[in-house]
Structure 1
Amino acid sequence: MIEKHFTTLDDFLGTHFIYTYDNGWEYEWYAKNDHTVDYRIHGGMVAGRWVTDQEADIVMLTAGIYKISWTEPTGTDVALDFLPNDHKVHGTIFFPKWVEEHPEITVTYQNEHIDLMETSREKYATYPKLVVPEFANITYMGEAGQDNEDVISEAPYEGMPDDIRSGKYFDEKYHRVNK
């Protein structure tokens, strides 16, 4: 895990994180550039889901504190506050009713199933939303650089976060080992 002091937005962009919410859900998240994020979900009700090139609003609130928000094709809204200098995240996920009732539909590589996400959003109930506000501890930070397509490039598998944390997943240039 890198140890650096985050001050500017540029310090944050290109950083790859793994964090675990207090409820036990484990997420992997990458600040791909100033308007796009990629992520994989390793634990929780939608474990196995992964997404690349999600458009997001990414801002620095003050030195070293960042807010990221987006709406997914599922209708799920996400708001994350990163405090990387303190190894903390606060996230609020607003799951539509249909995702709460049919999470298995979303457990896929979303980019290849946008039509299914949009159809499901229209077919099933949206409200009431399941609101999940949680604090998380950052367990990994890596300097992947911006627009690195190797960071989130395959489905999550059992033990993947441990492989990343132990240095078995990326080489010294932050490219996948054994593609």
Structure 2
Amino acid sequence: MTQHNQMDKQFKTLDDFLGTHFIYTYDNGWEYEWYAKNDHTVDYRIHGGMVAGRWVTDQTANIVMLTAGIYKVAWTEPTGTDVALDFLPNDHKVNGTIFFPKWVQDHPEITVTYQNEHLDVMHAAREKYATYPKLVVPEFATITYMGNAGQDNNEVISEAPYATLPDDIRAGQYFDADYRRLNH
């Protein structure tokens, strides 16, 4: 267990959740990295699945605590994809449902980029291609990493995903003691 990996942390309040950096793997094998940047913003990188290689910062989201230690996060992306995640960090579990528009299912490669620099492309594809029927992907996931990055840390999700990145983070080879990226 690295200095940042806090798999034994007990979550009780919304403040316990905000500023937490997660890596989790869905039961279908898709690996995601996700960061509760603050009470209304999330950042994430996708390491596996049909949109592996996609990464996003400053996504506006609705973030609430349902009850002590259980959190719901939901948002709509510029692609038209809707996401609803339930985090149970004390049990190292996530339940997520992703609602992919038909165009993302048919043309996932369009979304595999740093979305923030290609919002015009996402908007154009959303208007050009079919939205329905949506591909609904409901899955459970197992959390494999939880780190206390602090809120509004722009170094957590700050570069494109690469093959060993999740393992580098879990091994303590990606962030320094202040949760800043090594090897800029």
Which range, TM-score by smaller chain? over 0.9
Residue of structure 2 equivalent to 1:108: 113
1:99 and 2:104 matched: yes
CA distance in 2, matches of 1:50, 1:10: 25
Q: Secondary structure at the match of 1:54?
A: strand
Residue 99 of structure 1, CA deviation: 0.0
Residue 90 of structure 2 aligns with an amino acid whose one-letter code is: N
Which residues in structure 2 correspond to 1:20-169 (within 5 Å)? 20-169=25-174
For 1:172, the equivalent position in structure 2 comes to: 177
Letter in 2 for 1:96: P
Unaligned regions of 5+ residues in structure 2, if any?
none
Counterpart Cα distance in 2 of 1:20 and 1:134 = 10
**TM-align CA RMSD:** 0.3
How many residues get paired?
179
Distance 2:30 2:183 in 1: 27
Gaps of 5+ in 1: none
SS across alignment from 2:9: coil
TM-score using structure 1 length: 1.00
- The 1-side partners of 2:42 and 2:124 are apart by 23
User: After superposition, what is the alpha-carbon deviation per residue over 1:118-169, rounded to whole angstroms, capped at 9, x for unaligned?
Assistant: 0000000000000000000000000000000000000000110000000000
TM-score, normalised by the number of residues in structure 2:
0.97
Q: Aligned equivalents of 2:136 and 2:34: distance in 1? A: 20
Q: CA deviation at 1:55?
A: 0.1
Instruction: Read off the aligned partner of 1:166 and give its amino acid letter.
Output: A
Taking every aligned residue pair, what percent have the same amino acid on both sides?
A: 83
Cα distance in 2, alignment partners of residues 171 and 89 from structure 1:
27
Q: Which stretches of structure 1, 4 residues or longer, exceed 4 Å deviation after superposition?
A: none
Once the two structures are TM-superposed, the CA of residue 175 in structure 1 deviates from its matched residue by 0.3
